[in-house]
Structure formats: structure tokens, C-alpha cells
Amino acid sequence: MLELSLKKRFADFSIDISLALGSELLVLFGPSGAGKSLLMKLLSGILKPDEGSVNIDSQVIFDSRSRIDVPMRERRIGYVFQDYALFPHKTVLENIVYGAVGSEEERSETVRGLVSLMRLGGLEGRYPNELSGGQRQRVALARTLAARPRILLLDEPFSALDYQVREKLRADLLTIHELFPITTILVTHDLEEAFMLGTRVAVINNGGLEQLGTREEVFYRPATRNVARFIGARNIFSGSVAAIDAGTVVIDNNDIGRVTAHVPAGAVLRQGMEVSFCIRPEEVIIVKPDRALGHKAAENIVEGEITSTLGKGSTHILFIKVGAGDTLLKVEAPNFVCRKLNLVVGSLVKVLLKKESVWVIA
């Protein structure tokens, strides 16, 4: 269990964040310069907070009021840096052994298990400069885990690796977390990585906590327009509440028209209120020209012209101009749909914004 409340002020930036975490994998997400890596340094003891406290498993390791500041080496916090920070003059085995704790027999057993888990068999005698980026990252993780940390901090550990290696190491990290179920905090700028790895996601912005929740809550029910932008909702609009009835809200927007959505739990909406609403690009549905639509489905039909397309592997991004202004709706559709419906620049299309997928930000 980790509980922290930390503040730090600089000349042009300040951070003030409180969190309580169990044995879970939390992703810190947000724009560059938001304070994610700074929070990790404050927690680990690399930097000293101005105010606050840190408790790990009911042990106070920092408290500004009581003047408690446990040295970094005694906090049992494992920190894996972006550049791996391996000892260049030590072999793979020596790097891992360096972090191991316990009796000689326990250390040997731990190291053997980690070499096997991290697929480092046969590489024990190599030096870091003889390894690939992915192999160095696995050695760094093994060395950190050998120290039996209570908290594991990962600061953009996969950012310098190619996609295939990143994909494999993400799967490795999930396996590691199952085998070593400790509080793990991972910093990333990668949307896919955040959604794949985070049991919970914390969105950090300007040194503060903008939203904390499950991946589904943060990605599909953003609390603010900032969060919606950070997590790639892209289709963020403003409008006024036209009507509210039985958990459903109708919103008028100048370009999209009238949109129906569910009222978020706990939201207090009233007629005439200005609100924001959003929908993720992959949640927008292309309507086949010959498809018959019922009354309810027709409520959220939007028409427009495709102004540009962008290939994205197995999907295509379509930008659709709607209304009389320059408003663009971003849609992510499977390639086979684009081919079947011949969706190219200049095509006139209809799309459906399912009310279950439209999220209202009061």
C-alpha cells in the first residue's frame, strides 16, 4: 500500500499531488512537462519535497512535519530509468547479482529465476554494450526486481525501443506484475501503452492530478476537456442543453446539430446549460448508404465530406468536414470498411454517434 501527498515549488513550476495505491499497476499519463517524472523523483528520494508525506505499507518514509526522511537506499523503491543505468563494466549476471538481497542461497535462486523469467539465458557473460535495447531493458528490470522492492517505478522504460520489442516487453511487464504483485507506477506518453498496461490511469497536468480512475473511466469518460484531449478523444465539442428526460440529455451544437447522450452519473444538468461532449474516433460508426435506420438511431446521424485520410496499419483515419464552418470529425475505421464503401477524399458520408459512446462533460 502506497500513500503519498507531495508538494514541490520551483521558480516557474509547482507540483501538488496526492495518491493512494494498492498492489496495482498505475500509469501516469499526460503531456510533456506535466510533472510525471518529477513525481517519481520526489517519491524515490532523488529530490526532496517541500511539503508532504509518503507511507509504504504503513511505514513513514517521508514526512515534512515530523522531519522524517528515510535515505533513498533504505526505501526499497525500485527505479528503472529510460536509459537503463546499467553498470557498463559488469556483465549481465554481475548487474543482476548486484541488486540481489538475502542469503547467498536466496540470491542465487533469485538470480536464476530472473534470468529465466527475463529470457536472458546464454547472455549472462555479456556486457551492456553487447546487448540490444530490449535485452538491456530486461537486465535493468531483473536487477531492480532482485532487490525485492516494495514499490516499482518505471520512467518511460520502452520509449527508445522499436514497436515489436515494445509490444513484447509490455506483455512481459504484465507477467512480471502477476508474479511480483507490488505497487507499480509507469510513466508513458503512449496511448496504446497506457490503455494496455494500466489497471488505473492517473492523468497529470501542470503539476496536478486532473483525473484518476480505471482505464475505461479515463479513456471513455474523461472528467475535463484537457483529459479528453490527452487521451485522444479528439472529437470534443461544445453545446447547450436543449432537453433532459429520463437519464437522457439532448445537446444542440451549431455544426453537428442535435446530439442525444446519456446523462453522466452524478451530473447536474439543466436546460440552457453550456456543456462539452466528446466521442472517441473508433466509436464513430460509418453508416452504409443502403442501411435503414430506426428513429432512435437517426437522432445522432451526422453528414459530411471526407477532406483527408491517413493510413494507420489495419485502420484508416478519416477527417470529415461537418456543418458550415471548419469543424472536422475524426473517425477511425477498419481498412476493409474503407475499401468496401470506397471512402476517399471528396466522398459524402453519414456517420452515427451512438448515444452510449457520447460522453458529456458538464
Summarised one tens digit per residue, pLDDT across range 210-248 is 999 999 999 999 999 999 999 888 899 999 999 998 889
pLDDT > 90 in the chain, percent: 70
pLDDT of residue 345: 95
pLDDT of residue 323: 83
The whole-number average pLDDT for the span 189-210 is: 91
Computed on alpha carbons and rounded to an integer, the radius of gyration of the chain in Å comes to: 25
The whole-number average pLDDT for the span 341-353 is: 93
pLDDT of residue 241: 95
pLDDT of residue 164: 83
CB atoms within 10 A of CB 78: 24
pLDDT of residue 294: 57
H helix or E strand, kind and range, residue 337: helix 335-340
Summarised one tens digit per residue, pLDDT across range 136-187 is 989 999 999 999 999 999 998 887 778 888 888 888 899 999 988 999 999 9
The whole-number average pLDDT for the span 282-304 is: 78
Cα–Cα distance measured from residue 52 to residue 63, given in angstroms and rounded to the nearest whole number: 6
pLDDT of residue 291: 66
Cα–Cα distance measured from residue 20 to residue 2, given in angstroms and rounded to the nearest whole number: 6
pLDDT at 105 over 70: yes
pLDDT of residue 99: 82
Summarised one tens digit per residue, pLDDT across range 53-67 is 999 998 999 999 999
pLDDT of residue 236: 94
Summarised one tens digit per residue, pLDDT across range 22-39 is 999 999 998 889 999 999
pLDDT band at 267 (very low <50, low <70, confident <90, very high): confident
Is residue 138 within 8 A of residue 166, CB to CB? The reply is no
pLDDT at 83 over 80: no
Alpha-helical runs (H) found in 51-162: 92-99, 104-117, 133-146
pLDDT band at 362 (very low <50, low <70, confident <90, very high): confident
pLDDT of residue 295: 52
pLDDT at 324 over 80: no
pLDDT at 352 over 70: yes
pLDDT of residue 297: 54
- Which domains, and CATH codes, for the chain? 2-226 (3.40.50.300), 233-361 (2.40.50.100)
CA angle 268, 269, 271 (to 5 degrees): 150
Is residue 40 within 8 A of residue 184, CB to CB? The reply is no
